[in-house]
Structure 1
Amino acid sequence: MIAETGLAPIIAAAAGLMGGVVLLAGLAGGAYLTATTSTPMCDPGPCEQFPDVIRIEGLAGAERGLIAMQAALSMRGVPYSWGGGGPDGPSFGIQHGAHIRGFDCSGLAEYAWAKAGARIGGHTAPQWNAGARIPRTQIRPGDLIFFARDPARPATIHHVGIAVDAARMVHAPSTGSTVRIDTWAGDPYREREFIGVVRPAL
């Protein structure tokens, strides 16, 4: 279920941290950013690159989380590609993703946090160990939300999303889909597989 209502305040908070960047929110067509000194980055489709004008030096963890979330949101509409994506953005994947330029779940997470200045690795295993475990009640934008076939065994983690808030995440769900926002909290499938939340170390 795609859940984009109520995003404007969260996105505006992220944009407010980005000196020289103006947020243009048109949620039905996809919110997008434009630098005040350049042309729009998404017009209106998926963004190819997150703005380079953002200054990340000296930002606190919460601020960097907002930047990571905004970077992931800027990729909405980009196709899922198994094995695709990384710190530089979408890429061709491997095997059944070899002919699709896009992201898989961990590639999107790596991209988002690279834009916030953190290296978290390109697969769910290193990402699970890339920071502190956070109680579910303390989720904030940018935190990584993990899902496993057996929530008692981290070795079975198979999916990661980037928190928008305590109930929603932006993620690359599966082959045939695109990067999007979904509500995971309360969804029986996601609740069964929820294993934990990680806030990447800076």
Structure 2
Amino acid sequence: MGGVVLLAGLAAGTHVTVTTADAMCDDASPSLPQAGRPEPVSAGLCEHFPDMAVPPDMLAGAERGLIAIQAALRMRGTPYSWGGGNASGPTFGIEHGVHIHGFDCSGLAEYAWANAGARIGGHTSTQWNAGTRIPRDQIRPGDLIFFARDPANPATIHHVGIAIDTKRMVHAPSTGSTVRIDTWAGDPYREREFIGAVRPTG
């Protein structure tokens, strides 16, 4: 299975080459672009995260998630804006985000997955129901990671991040911050509020 190349067709009609399986993040044999072909979506992710906590064989079929996470990673440094962001990119928010051009957590998730051709909505309640629930040990790049004030009650979900692997996510944390990478696994606050992961299917 090593080095299998998939061609991901997106809703917009574009195509992205993705290298999967054993060659995905193998530093000894990196995936290199060939003349006339786009660079594999996985290449930049593996270069920046050589310690990815996702077995390479779990990445087979993950091309949409890889597109989504790379879209989110390109937004690092964008200001947090309450109510900001949509499928097209950062926007001015509402209420205390009205003068800030950026993303809130769900706006970033919507934008990331729109790049992968999925409509998941712009609110955490919609996004929680936009795909398949994924066991924690099977989280892979692009999956949505949700946090709730009461992990037994989805109605209390208040935050979403986009998984880099089983330990880290890119997210828009709160007013005064920017889109950034954080390690959520092992963090007492995040562990206490973790309610589950969803892989969008829209």
Same fold (TM over 0.5): yes
Structure number with bigger Rg: 2
2:63 matches 1:63: yes
Q: Is the 8 A contact 1:14 1:70 kept in 2?
A: no
1:170 Cα deviation (Å)?
A: 0.2
State the partner residue of 1:80.
Answer: 80
Q: Secondary structure at the match of 1:175?
A: coil
Structure 1 stretches of at least 4 aligned residues deviating more than 6 Å after TM superposition = 13-16, 22-25
CA distance in 2, matches of 1:14, 1:89: 29
State the partner residue of 1:190.
Answer: 190
State the partner residue of 1:180.
Answer: 180
CA distance in 2, matches of 1:14, 1:198: 28
CA distance in 1, matches of 2:144, 2:196: 8
1:61 Cα deviation (Å)?
A: 4.7
1:146 Cα deviation (Å)?
A: 0.0
State the partner residue of 1:152.
Answer: 152
Cα distance change, pair 68–176 in 1 and its aligned pair in 2 (3 A): same
CA distance in 2, matches of 1:61, 1:194: 25
1:15-55 C-alpha deviation (Å, 9 max, x unpaired): 97xx5248896xxxxx7xxxxxxxxxxxxxxxxxxxxxxxx
Q: Secondary structure at the match of 1:170?
A: strand
Cα distance change, pair 175–15 in 1 and its aligned pair in 2 (3 A): farther
State the partner residue of 2:94.
Answer: 94
Cα distance change, pair 193–61 in 1 and its aligned pair in 2 (3 A): same
State the partner residue of 2:134.
Answer: 134
CA distance in 2, matches of 1:177, 1:190: 17
State the partner residue of 1:20.
Answer: 38
TM-score by length of 1: 0.73
RMSD (Å), alpha carbons: 2.7
TM-score by length of 2: 0.73
2:138 matches 1:120: no
State the partner residue of 2:17.
Answer: none
CA distance in 1, matches of 2:163, 2:106: 13
Q: Is the 8 A contact 1:14 1:67 kept in 2?
A: no
Q: Is the 8 A contact 1:131 1:198 kept in 2?
A: yes
Runs of at least 5 residues in structure 2 that lack an aligned partner in the other structure? 1-24, 49-59
Cα distance change, pair 142–15 in 1 and its aligned pair in 2 (3 A): farther
State the partner residue of 2:19.
Answer: none
CA distance in 2, matches of 1:100, 1:14: 39
State the partner residue of 1:170.
Answer: 170
State the partner residue of 2:105.
Answer: 105
Letter in 2 for 1:89: G
Cα distance change, pair 105–61 in 1 and its aligned pair in 2 (3 A): farther
CA distance in 2, matches of 1:22, 1:130: 27
Runs of at least 5 residues in structure 1 that lack an aligned partner in the other structure? 1-8, 26-30, 32-59
1:70-126 C-alpha deviation (Å, 9 max, x unpaired): 000000000000000010000000000000000000000000000000000000001
Q: How many residues align?
A: 160
